[in-house]
A and B are shown apart, each in its own frame.
Chain A
Amino acid sequence: MREHIVSPKIYYTIFIALTVLTVVTWSVAKLDLGKMNAVVAMTIAVIKATLVVLYFMHVRYSSRLTWVFVGAGFFWLAIMVALTLSDYMTRGWLTIAQ
């Protein structure tokens, strides 16, 4: 199997990026943005997770098949969230006749 050698420079860059984003999360948490609190925090978290998956887990340098499997993992996570919310978000939609 082909091994892709990643230079330490990239690892350090990603590490610094992750550290900076952690600090950003922490600082933003001190501001009250109302509804945007969760949105901002989740956006930063998703960016960080993406960096880890792409570089630390080498997915960026991997085959298309690996991309399919990684994609499937996230798609299944989306299924879990979406169908769970299909319960919570629709609790008042239909009522049972008394």
Chain B
Amino acid sequence: METVAEITPPRTHYLNATYGVKSWLLTTDHKRIALLYLASVTFFFFLGGLFAAGIRIELLTPQGDFVQAETYNRMFTMHGVVMIFLFLIPAIPAVLGNFLVPLMIGARDLAFPRINLLSWYIYTVGALFAVLAILFGGVDTGWTFYTPYSSTYSNGNVILTGLGVFVVGFSSILTGLNFIVTIHTMRAPGLTWFRLPLFIWAHYATSLIMILGTPVIAVTILLLALERLAHVGIFDPALGGDPVLFQHLFWFYSHPAVYIMVLPAMGVISELIANMSRKRIFGYKFVAFASLAIAAFGFLVWGHHMFVSTQSVYAGMVFSFLSYAVAIPSAVKVFNWTATLYKGSISYDTPMLYAFGFIGFFIIGGMTGLFLAALGVDVHVHDTYFVVAHFHYIMVGGTIMGYLGGLHYWWPKITGRLYSEAWARFAALVIFVGFNLTFFPQFLLGYMGMPRRYYAYPPEFQVLNVMSSAGASILGVGYLIPVIYLIWSMRYGPHAPANPWGAAGLEWRTSSPPPTLNFEQVPVVTWEAYEFGDPSENAESRMENRG
């Protein structure tokens, strides 16, 4: 980070333009709504983390001694539900996306500011249903709600939790809708599609999944409720239904939902890699189209969750092949990020540490995903800790690393303050170590045959489980440190300049924090994405040369 001696912050900006609780709860400023979301998702991240702590404490010993089996089932279910629906899916789009999409395209706000606020309220209402369900004792079905257990036999709060997921889905749809319309209609003059930052391409692709996929999970939950409450036979064989149909419908959304979580993180990483190595992304168009390809192909692979669910062998082969295909655009991104680093002027500030972490974890998570997409291997490791380790490498190692990297990178823009770089690097390191210690042993456990979702296990698995629990406590500390220094920085941190990283991108061409309407004047873009040096000067001198 450049250290600039005296920074005078703008006198009025979006944070101090108006005061009072009402000015926040009724705001239509995308930047303030992003902060509302930031508070909400942070709360649910730590709530979900609490359930994870319970799981890891139980698994310290082979016997089930900390909680009862039934309680354990409820803990891992609520961990999954809270983390996926209330944290991972909204985290990057609703916080960083909300804040940055208008700033990055030179717009004054999103296309539908009031719908944006509505989406936060819908999220809050849905989250309240989920919290109520937890207070009433939670659910024990697993976050996947598989039928007929969920629709007929479970005595947990399936309906209340399902209602929560159903409602939260609409906030996701509205966010996606808002982004798509905004990106189509509100780009600054001169900002053509191929001049857009890759963060925007990633969010556009994510938005497509949100609006095309989320309605399906809503309908599926509705059908589940219909069966549970009115005993209409849809999924339960005893009522004439088909349980595998539930899995088809559920995973039609829930596999692409993984890309709702990881595509925005990839968008963040593209920004970090380009700006912190001061180079235009290698193969910009490939990375941009890879986002769209992942969004589209992501819808064609859901059957890889059902290789051992009586799905036909033929369908299994098709889904297996398509799952391999979706790895191609993901690999394109990884190769292009790496190639961007070549001969770059790389800085090792905190956001870049998270970016490096992301790339490493995503490679491991992605490659083990290919193991799982192989029909034969999957029969062996299906429903074992191998799967648990795999998707945590994608979701925690991918999405959360991207989220934290992005949060650190744009924190000076969001708050107008700088945090302690030393503490931030230390926390990134703690998270890196804690994460690997938590989840790498789980690959080994799964490969040796330890099934997921049991509260007891054979004694020979204990050493690796203790390692995993120890890692989880380190990881927990690693996540708490940023909370402390980031909150500290909001009050005591030095003022941030408009562009502390010397980065390219319109969001850095306005003050930190930005004014309510983002820009004093609507910017006119005459340069390509990631043009370093002073792009406006370059463009001007080029005009002169041409002139």
Cβ-closest chain B residue relative to A89: B312
Q: Which of A83, A90, A92, A96 contacts B300 (CB 8 A)?
A: A83
Interface residues of B in 278-320 (CB under 8 A from A): 299-300, 302-303, 306, 310-315, 317-319
**CA A79 to CA B216, docked complex, whole Å:** 12
**CA A76 to CA B211, docked complex, whole Å:** 11
Residues of A within 8 A of B456 (CB): none
A54 to chain B, nearest CB (A): 20
Kindly count the residue-residue contacts between A and B in the assembled complex, taking CB atoms under 8 Å apart. 51
With A87-B244, A87-B303 given, is the CB distance from A80 to B216 under 8 Å? yes
A91 to chain B, nearest CB (A): 5
Residues of A within 8 A of B252 (CB): 80, 84
Q: How many residues of A contact B (CB 8 A)?
A: 18
Q: Is the CB of A94 within 8 A of B300?
A: no
Q: What is the 8 Å Cβ interface bit string for chain B, positions 200-238, against chain A (1 contact, 0 not)?
A: 000000001000110010000000000000000000000
- Kindly state whether residue A72 has any CB partner on chain B within 8 Å: yes
**CA A80 to CA B303, docked complex, whole Å:** 11
Residues of B within 8 A of A12 (CB): none
Interface range for B: 20 to 34
- Kindly state whether residue A86 has any CB partner on chain B within 8 Å: yes
Q: Which of B216, B249, B312 contacts A93 (CB 8 A)?
A: B312
Residues of B within 8 A of A80 (CB): 216, 248-249, 252
**CA A87 to CA B318, docked complex, whole Å:** 10
With A73-B212, A80-B216 given, is the CB distance from A87 to B300 under 8 Å? no
Q: Is the CB of B299 within 8 A of A93?
A: no
Residues of B within 8 A of A86 (CB): 312, 314-315, 318
- Kindly state whether residue A65 has any CB partner on chain B within 8 Å: yes
The B interface is mostly helix, strand or loop, or mixed, namely helix
Cβ-closest chain A residue relative to B252: A80
A48 to chain B, nearest CB (A): 19
**CA A91 to CA B306, docked complex, whole Å:** 13
Residues of B within 8 A of A83 (CB): 300, 302-303, 315, 318-319
- Kindly state whether residue A95 has any CB partner on chain B within 8 Å: yes
With A87-B244, A87-B303 given, is the CB distance from A94 to B212 under 8 Å? no
**CA A60 to CA B213, docked complex, whole Å:** 24
Q: Is the CB of A93 within 8 A of B212?
A: no
- Kindly state whether residue B184 has any CB partner on chain A within 8 Å: yes
Residues of A within 8 A of B300 (CB): 79, 83
Cβ-closest chain A residue relative to B306: A87
Q: Is the CB of B299 within 8 A of A94?
A: no
Interface centre among A79, A83, A86 (most CB of B within 10 A): A83
With A72-B212, A73-B212, A84-B248 given, is the CB distance from A90 to B299 under 8 Å? no
Q: What is the 8 Å Cβ interface bit string for chain A, positions 4-21, against chain B (1 contact, 0 not)?
A: 000000000000000000
**CA A87 to CA B249, docked complex, whole Å:** 13
**CA A39 to CA B317, docked complex, whole Å:** 30
Interface centre among B245, B306, B311 (most CB of A within 10 A): B311
Residues of A within 8 A of B315 (CB): 83, 86-87, 90
With A86-B318, A87-B248 given, is the CB distance from A76 to B312 under 8 Å? no
Residues of A within 8 A of B310 (CB): 91
Q: Which of A73, A79, A91 contacts B312 (CB 8 A)?
A: A91
**CA A52 to CA B79, docked complex, whole Å:** 41
Q: What is the 8 Å Cβ interface bit string for chain A, positions 59-70, against chain B (1 contact, 0 not)?
A: 000000100000
A86 to chain B, nearest CB (A): 5
**CA A76 to CA B312, docked complex, whole Å:** 22
Cβ-closest chain A residue relative to B319: A83
Interface centre among B208, B302, B314 (most CB of A within 10 A): B314
Residues of A within 8 A of B306 (CB): 87
Cβ-closest chain A residue relative to B318: A86
Interface centre among B208, B249, B302, B313 (most CB of A within 10 A): B313
**CA A79 to CA B296, docked complex, whole Å:** 11
Residues of B within 8 A of A95 (CB): 313
Q: What is the 8 Å Cβ interface bit string for chain B, positions 414-455, against chain A (1 contact, 0 not)?
A: 000000000000000000000000000000000000000000
A64 to chain B, nearest CB (A): 12
**CA A98 to CA B45, docked complex, whole Å:** 47
With A84-B248, A86-B318 given, is the CB distance from A93 to B313 under 8 Å? yes
Give B residues with C-beta under 8 Å from A: 184, 208, 212-213, 216, 244-245, 248-249, 252, 299-300, 302-303, 306, 310-315, 317-319
14 more A-B residue pairs beyond the given contacts A80-B248, A87-B248, A94-B312, with a C-beta to C-beta distance below 8 A: A72-B212, A79-B300, A83-B315, A84-B245, A86-B318, A87-B306, A90-B312, A90-B314, A91-B310, A91-B312, A92-B312, A94-B313, A94-B314, A96-B313
Closest 7 CB pairs of A and B: A87-B315, A90-B314, A94-B313, A90-B312, A91-B312, A84-B248, A93-B314
22 sample A-B contacts, Cβ–Cβ < 8 Å, listed by A number? A73-B212, A76-B212, A76-B299, A79-B300, A80-B216, A80-B248, A83-B303, A83-B315, A83-B319, A84-B245, A84-B248, A86-B314, A86-B318, A87-B248, A87-B306, A88-B312, A90-B315, A93-B312, A93-B314, A94-B313, A94-B314, A96-B313
